[in-house]
Amino acid sequence: MIRDIFTALIYQPLYNALVELIDIVPFADVGIAVIVLTVFVKILLFPLARQAIRTQAVLKKVQPRIEEIRKDYKDDQHRQVKETLALYKENRVHPLSGILTLIIQLPVIFGLYWVFFRGGLPVINTDLLYSFVQNPPSVNMMFLGFIDMGGRSALLAILAGATQFIHARIAIQPPQTNSKPGESIKDDIQRSMHLQMRYVLPIIVGVVSFFISAAVALYWTTSNIFTIGQELLVRKSFRDTQ
**What are the pLDDT digits (tens) for 124-146?**
888 889 999 988 888 899 998 88
d(CA 231, CA 121): 32
pLDDT confidence of 7, banded at 50, 70, 90? confident
Burial zone of 66 (CB within 10 Å; 0-12 exposed, 13-18 middle, 19+ buried): middle
* pLDDT at residue 45 in the model: 82
pLDDT, average across residues 182-200: 60
* pLDDT at residue 180 in the model: 55
Question: CA distances (Å), 113 to each of 29, 57, 205, 208, 239, in order?
Answer: 18, 28, 12, 12, 33
**What are the pLDDT digits (tens) for 8-51?**
888 999 899 999 999 898 888 899 999 999 999 889 888 878 87
> Residue 70 pLDDT more than 90?
no
* pLDDT at residue 226 in the model: 93
* pLDDT at residue 156 in the model: 94
Average pLDDT in the chain: 80
pLDDT confidence of 197, banded at 50, 70, 90? low
Q: What is the three-class DSSP state of 27?
A: helix
d(CA 180, CA 164): 28
Backbone angles phi, psi at 165, to 5 degrees: -65, -45
* pLDDT at residue 90 in the model: 78
Burial zone of 115 (CB within 10 Å; 0-12 exposed, 13-18 middle, 19+ buried): buried
Kindly tell me the sign of the dihedral angle through the C-alpha atoms of 72, 78, 79, 80. positive
Can you spell out the DSSP letters for 112-145? Answer: HHHHHHH--TTS--GGG--TTSPPPS--B-EETT
Break the chain into its structural domains and give their ranges.
2-240
Predicted TM-score (pTM) of this structure? 0.79
d(CA 91, CA 168): 25
> Residue 178 pLDDT more than 80?
no
pLDDT, average across residues 173-189: 54
Report the Cα 160 to chain-centroid distance in Å. 12
* pLDDT at residue 79 in the model: 78
